[in-house]
């Protein structure tokens, strides 16, 4: 099987499966003449041409007398197998036929001799497409098989006939063949545990049967519930040949009919989609049943189809902290597995599954950011590896570092001072990583309520003076570059006095000059 690194929310999975033991030739002539040759050799010219029933076809141009073409098989079949040839022909009435055109299946021995009577059917010569079917059993002694057409025109005359949609299948009875082969899609959790399996193919145990194809699913839902369910057991009769199995996952709704099973393009029924397949996504496709298969199987043209979701709408982001931002989006689609937020370099900085949302609202948190810094982001929805177009860009600033005694300092300690000038420093300055500005108030009160009209401190040191004696407090409130506040701080009291004490115990002099310093007993 194949695991998808990014799970899909919705997708359609298809595979062609050959049910049988022998040949399984399909001729569509889209790319080449596929080994068909003129009969007899060199009498006709074979090319691929437009105008087929489903695209291109094989065009054979003959010049009269003996005409026809064929394809030879020398292996892949066994004596006793049944065979079915389906072939479409478009042949004009080119004139008087010595032998009217017919399609055939011819059996030859190892020396090239024809075994028995070939199986044939007349071709209608009205220059219109007609389908023909020949069936039978491969006779003993067969070493080669030819399929094709033959004709004999009683004149030299150039004409062209066409071949398309050829199928030649040989097999034993598939209704007695226990193969357990088919298409399965899995949902696995983050630890690799299986949460759901959807299967379409051959399944013999009851309620299925060897003679039919079955569709079922496995789900994990607790004691007494976790099990395989087979609502589409024996949904179509088995026949030899190539068959296209399809499992189509529509968006989860809880309605119980979101997963459709198809065989050869025809619906055989719908089943529920489990919530786990939305939560964990569709992250693995495999071939064969969940358990060991019983016979070899052949698969071809395996494909997965998915569509990119519609872009979500970017809402107003929220600054959660100094290092995180929440990007808020609104879901506009129903086929996504999740959402992601991207920076300018298209790197994913946050993601969330659909299950994280509340209704249409989804929040994606980005962490590890720098304080007081602007971040511009877009968002996308994703379905596996398919992204929606981006949303409009949104910009948000992280919060500033809140003020504290470690990042706002004063050149003087709290308490008494005879100097009236106080210098405050914003440690780290005003920039990305710290803050954009402070609003401040220099008061004589220990409490203060900011109004937003305070003076701004946004560069250098803040130098304040005491107007007169008394205790002063500095109140600051920090802001980021988006003018969003984050924290306040009170520093003080800083007590200024302009009068010395009345009972100094000593006076300090320097070189005979008295200084404004003293000691006091009080």
Structure tokens at 60: 């054979």
Mean pLDDT value of segment 102-124: 96
d(CA 30, CA 164): 10
Exposed / middle / buried, residue 258 (Cβ in 10 Å: 0-12, 13-18, 19+): buried
Strands 374-383 vs 338-342: parallel, antiparallel or unpaired: antiparallel
DSSP code of residue 358 = B
Distance separating alpha carbons of residues 21 and 176, to the nearest angstrom: 12
Which region among 39-53, 222-236, 404-418 has the lowest average model confidence (pLDDT)?
A: 39-53
Q: CA 47: distance to chain centroid?
A: 41
Mention every residue, 6+ apart, whose C-beta is less than 8 A from residue 282: 4, 7, 8, 9, 10, 11, 185, 186, 187, 249, 384
Q: What confidence tier does 195 reach under pLDDT thresholds 50, 70, 90?
A: very high
What pLDDT score was predicted for residue 293?
60
Reported as a single tens digit per residue, the pLDDT across 380-439 is 999 999 999 999 999 999 999 999 999 999 999 999 999 999 999 999 999 999 999 999
Peptide bond into 14 cis (omega under 30): no
- Using an 8 Å Cβ cutoff, are 295 and 18 in contact? no
At residue 219, what are phi and psi to the nearest 5 degrees? -140, 150
Q: What are phi and psi of 174, to 5 degrees?
A: -65, -20
CB 332 within 8 A of CB 312: yes
Q: Tell me what the mean pLDDT of segment 236-248 comes to.
A: 95
d(CA 120, CA 442): 109
- Give 390's DSSP letter: P
Give the mean model confidence (pLDDT) for residues 127-140: 97
What is the pLDDT at residue 506?
Answer: 53
CB 250 within 8 A of CB 228: no
Least confident of 142-146, 155-159, 389-393: 155-159
Instruction: Render 221-279 in DSSP notation, one character per residue.
Output: -STTT-EEEEEEEEEEE--SEEEEEEEEEPPP-SSS--EEEEETTEEEEEE---HHHHH
pLDDT at 522: 42
Question: Which H or E run includes 434?
Answer: none
Given phi > 0 = left and psi -120 to 50 = alpha, else beta, which region is 137? beta
Phi, psi (deg, nearest 5) at residue 426: -90, 105
Which of 40-49, 80-89, 298-307, 495-504 reaches the highest mean pLDDT? 80-89
Measured CA to CA, the distance from residue 253 to residue 261 in angstroms comes to: 17
Residue 222 phi, psi (nearest 5) = 100, 175
Q: Which domains does the chain have, with CATH numbers?
A: 2-18+174-305 (2.60.120.200), 24-171 (2.60.120.260), 313-397 (2.60.40.10), 408-496 (2.60.40)
pLDDT above 80: residue 296: no
Least confident segment among 179-193, 224-238, 372-386, 482-496:
179-193
Q: Which of the given ranges, 12-21, 187-196, 316-325, has the highest pLDDT on average? A: 316-325
User: Which residue spans within 331-484 are E strands per DSSP?
Assistant: 338-342, 348-353, 361-366, 374-383, 386-387, 394-397, 408-410, 415-417, 421-426, 437-443, 455-457, 462-465, 470-479
Q: How confident is the model at residue 291 (pLDDT cuts 50, 70, 90)?
A: low
**Which residues pair with residue 351 across a beta bridge?**
340
Residue 295: in which H helix or E strand, if any?
A: none
Whether the CB-CB separation of 200 and 166 falls below 8 Å is answered with no
Please say whether the beta carbons of 168 and 22 come within 8 A.
no
Residue 147 DSSP SS3: strand
- Model confidence over 439-492: pLDDT tens digits? 999 999 999 999 999 999 999 999 999 999 999 999 999 999 999 999 999 999
Residue 404: is it exposed, middle or buried by C-beta count within 10 angstroms (0-12/13-18/19+)?
Answer: exposed
Mean pLDDT in the chain? 92
Q: How many CB atoms lie within 10 A of CB 4?
A: 17
**CA distance to 20, 408, 475, 490, per residue, from 405 (Å):** 83, 5, 12, 9
Question: In the predicted model, is pLDDT for residue 290 greater than 80?
Answer: no
Distance CA 443, CA 316 (A): 38
Query: What was the pLDDT predicted at 442?
Result: 98
The count of other CB atoms within 10 Å of the CB of residue 218 is: 19
Name residue 136's beta-bridge partners: 83
State pLDDT tens for residues 320-375: 999 999 999 999 988 888 999 999 999 999 999 887 666 689 999 999 999 999 99
Q: Tokens for 229? A: 């369910």
Q: Do 260 and 144 contact (CB within 8 A), yes or no?
A: no
């Amino acid at each position: 099987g194949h695991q998808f690194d990014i799970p899909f929310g919705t997708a359609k999975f298809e595979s062609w499966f050959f049910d049988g033991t022998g040949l399984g030739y399909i001729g569509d002539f889209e790319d080449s003449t596929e080994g068909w040759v003129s009969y007899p050799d060199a009498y006709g010219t074979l090319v691929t041409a437009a105008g087929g029933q489903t695209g291109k076809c094989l065009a054979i141009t003959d010049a009269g007398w003996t005409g026809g073409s064929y394809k030879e098989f020398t292996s892949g079949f066994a004596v006793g197998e049944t065979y079915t040839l389906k072939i479409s022909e478009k042949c004009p009435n080119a004139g008087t036929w010595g032998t009217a055109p017919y399609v055939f299946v011819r059996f030859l021995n190892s020396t090239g001799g024809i075994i028995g009577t070939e199986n044939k059917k007349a071709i209608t010569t009205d220059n219109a497409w007609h389908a023909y079917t020949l069936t039978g059993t491969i006779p003993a002694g067969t070493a080669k098989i030819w399929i094709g057409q033959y004709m004999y025109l009683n004149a030299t005359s150039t004409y062209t006939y066409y071949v398309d949609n050829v199928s030649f299948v040989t097999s034993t009875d598939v209704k007695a063949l226990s193969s357990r082969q088919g298409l399965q899609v899995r949902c696995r959790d983050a630890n690799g545990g299986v949460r759901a399996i959807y299967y379409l193919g051959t399944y013999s145990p009851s309620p299925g049967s060897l003679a039919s194809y079955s569709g079922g699913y496995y789900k994990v839902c607790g004691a007494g519930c976790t099990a395989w369910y087979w609502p589409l057991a024996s949904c179509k009769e088995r026949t030899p040949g190539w068959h296209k199995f399809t499992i189509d996952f529509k968006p989860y709704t809880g309605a119980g009919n979101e997963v459709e099973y198809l065989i050869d393009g025809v619906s055989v029924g719908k089943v529920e989609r489990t919530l786990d397949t939305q939560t964990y996504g569709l992250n693995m496709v495999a071939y064969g049943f969940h358990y060991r298969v019983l016979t070899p199987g052949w698969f071809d043209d395996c494909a997965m189809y998915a569509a990119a979701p519609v872009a979500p709408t970017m809402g107003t982001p929220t600054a959660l902290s100094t290092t995180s931002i929440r990007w808020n989006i609104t879901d506009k689609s129903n086929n996504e597995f999740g959402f992601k937020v991207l920076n300018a370099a298209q790197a994913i900085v946050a993601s969330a599954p659909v299950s994280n949302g509340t209704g249409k609202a989804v929040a994606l948190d980005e962490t590890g950011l720098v304080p007081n810094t602007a971040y511009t982001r877009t968002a996308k929805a994703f379905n596996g590896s398919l992204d929606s177009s981006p949303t409009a860009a949104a910009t948000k600033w992280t919060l500033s570092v809140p003020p504290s005694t470690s990042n706002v300092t004063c050149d003087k300690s709290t308490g008494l001072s005879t100097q009236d000038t106080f210098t405050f420093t914003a440690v780290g300055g005003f920039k990305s990583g710290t803050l954009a500005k402070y609003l401040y108030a220099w008061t004589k009160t220990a409490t203060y309520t900011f109004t937003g009209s305070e003076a701004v401190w946004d560069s250098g040191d803040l130098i304040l003076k005491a107007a007169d004696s008394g205790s002063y407090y500095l109140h600051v409130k920090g802001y980021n570059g988006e003018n969003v506040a984050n924290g306040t701080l009170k520093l003080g009291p800083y007590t200024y006095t302009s009068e010395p004490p009345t009972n100094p115990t000593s006076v300090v002099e320097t070189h005979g000059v008295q200084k404004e310093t003293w000691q006091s007993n009080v």
